[in-house]
Structure 1
Amino acid sequence: MRPNPGGQRPSDSVDDHTVVLHGVAHRYRGRDAEVQALASTDLTIGGGEFVAVVGPSGCGKTTLLQLLAGFLTPTEGRITVGGEQVTAPSPDRGVVFQQANLYPWMSVRANVELGPRLRGVARAERRRIADHHLELVGLSEFAKAAPYELSGGMQQRCQIARVLANDPAIMLLDEPFGALDALTRDRLQDELHRIWLGSGKTAFFITHSVEEAVYLGTRVLVMSPRPGRIVFDEPVPFPADARDAALRATPEFVAFRERVAAKIGTG
């Protein structure tokens, strides 16, 4: 399913990549007592959507992403992708972390080749895959460089290329631009949007920035303070293929951004 250019949700019918949460909750043992991180949650994410999630610190955003990734197991309920229950991590669900976590002893190209190499892809083919994705993120000239020779923004682009090289159906992004300066962040937002728009992949994107969520998402979720619940869930009212700097200044963008911001901290 391709990205919906009108910003509306695809239908809830299950396709190969539809994500469905059925009454999913999560608790963990804190220092003194059990902590309810995520209240019972029902959610459907259609293939090709870009779902951006905002909420106050500690509201369960990252817990929700880790559940989708298969890093955590729900205390209650279940998660399915294409009708199959999520019980462990999978190459079909690629995770982009806030810190790039590249292997410093490998070149940029070798980092991007890692997933295909672990899957047994032949050397020539995995190099082709790596070079294609390095070109996609604008790092072709740095293929032989070490990660520590890259800027923070370039390292994040390398991490995105590494995830894309595995060709996941779903990209899970946990505040990937949170540690970057404003100019680099804006530039990488546009890079990510361009890549997503041309890929047809599903994206689940966590951020603390309401503006970033509204700019990137085809749909925005707001989560309440702990225990996390979804208190706002609406499609973004702008075409997915019309995101640019001028959009941010329009009355429509500002009005929707303020509606989302007003929901932060409610519960």
Structure 2
Amino acid sequence: MTQDRSQHQGQDQGRHQRDVRLSGVRHHFSVRGAEVPALDRTELTLEPGELVTLAGPSGCGKTTLLRLVAGFMTPSEGQVLVGGSLVRGPAEERGVVFQQPTLFPWLTVRRNVELGPRLRGVSKAERRRHAEEFLDLVGLADFAEHRPYELSGGMQQRCQIARVLANDPDIVLMDEPFGALDALTRERLQDELLEIWRRTGKTILFITHSVDEAVFLGSRVLVMSPRPGRIVLDEPAVFGRPGEKVPPSEIRALPEFVALRERVRVAIQTEPAVSA
């Protein structure tokens, strides 16, 4: 654990010790009167402070799992718990970064970031201070008075991340936030996300289609099977952890990185056994 993360957690030690646990979770959707299975027999624990990446084939239930943790849906079977408490709906300890930036175009970047604290009744001076802190953290301090439509796609995603962080959630749920970006912007935001994680100590669940992204970002990498999704691979990854700064190109060339990337790729491509 870095010194920055230790200091951050020391400010609010109790809150930041919440884990996330899925116990016996199954989920299905009703389509034209038929039940379509989405998740099958999911058991999963996210420890406080982990950056867990979740990869899998399209339609395997990754986003469904994230929405269950967010409280947007209730599982058909089983339980989702945060800090030992049953998830019954959205709550302030969980923040969600969506695939597309959900920014209000008529508000400035600063006011978008201030929106959550304002709705919670935080004073104007305090929410401005928090907005400036997180805009600086994501590299948008010079664009505080711009409107979202004046920003590039990558900058809009940074703004969305800053808005989520300004609410100070313990757990940040990220649903393929870099998927629509060009390759160079995506890699730059990957580096910035790792720095944010190191500095804040947040627990992050990051959904991605990219095997390379999953291995590069995760302190732990999960793979889901094709639908109905279940966890078929759960491995630690050391590449995004704090330590000596190594260029991303060198990290991706490491034999250990290449080997884990191949294991993840094989796990995604392997068909699961038929559920009983």
Q: Shorter-chain TM-score: what band? A: over 0.9
Q: Secondary structure at the match of 2:259?
A: helix
- How many residues are aligned here? 257
Match of 1:255 among 256, 259, 274: 259
Higher helix proportion? 2
Residue identity in the other structure for 1:252: E
TM-score (norm. length: structure 2): 0.90
CA distance in 2, matches of 1:239, 1:214: 8
Q: Does 1:71 align with 2:72?
A: yes
Is the contact between residue 218 and residue 240 of structure 2 (CA under 8 Å) also seen in structure 1?
no
Residue identity in the other structure for 2:201: G
Q: CA deviation at 1:32?
A: 5.4
Q: Secondary structure at the match of 1:259?
A: helix
Residue correspondence of structure 1 range 15-164 to structure 2 within 5 A: 16-31=17-32, 33-164=34-165
Deviations 1:231-254 (A, max 9, x none): 101111446024641101111111
1:265 aligns to what?
A: 269
Identity of aligned residues (%): 65
1:8 aligns to what?
A: none
Residue identity in the other structure for 1:262: V
Q: Secondary structure at the match of 1:264?
A: helix
Q: 1:239 and 1:163, CA in 2 relative to 1: closer, same or farther beyond 3 A? A: closer
CA distance in 1, matches of 2:258, 2:81: 35
Deviations 1:77-102 (A, max 9, x none): 11111111100001110000010010
CA distance in 2, matches of 1:33, 1:231: 26
CA distance in 2, matches of 1:111, 1:53: 28
1:11 aligns to what?
A: none
CA distance in 1, matches of 2:156, 2:240: 29
Residue identity in the other structure for 1:202: T
Residue identity in the other structure for 1:208: H
Alpha carbon RMSD of aligned pairs, Å?
1.6
Residue identity in the other structure for 1:251: P
**What stretches of structure 1 move > 6 A for 4+ residues in a row?**
none
Residue identity in the other structure for 2:179: G
Q: CA deviation at 1:33?
A: 1.6
TM-score (norm. length: structure 1): 0.93
- Ranges in structure 1 where 5+ consecutive residues have no aligned partner: 6-14
Q: Secondary structure at the match of 2:135?
A: helix
CA distance in 1, matches of 2:31, 2:184: 38
CA distance in 2, matches of 1:78, 1:16: 19
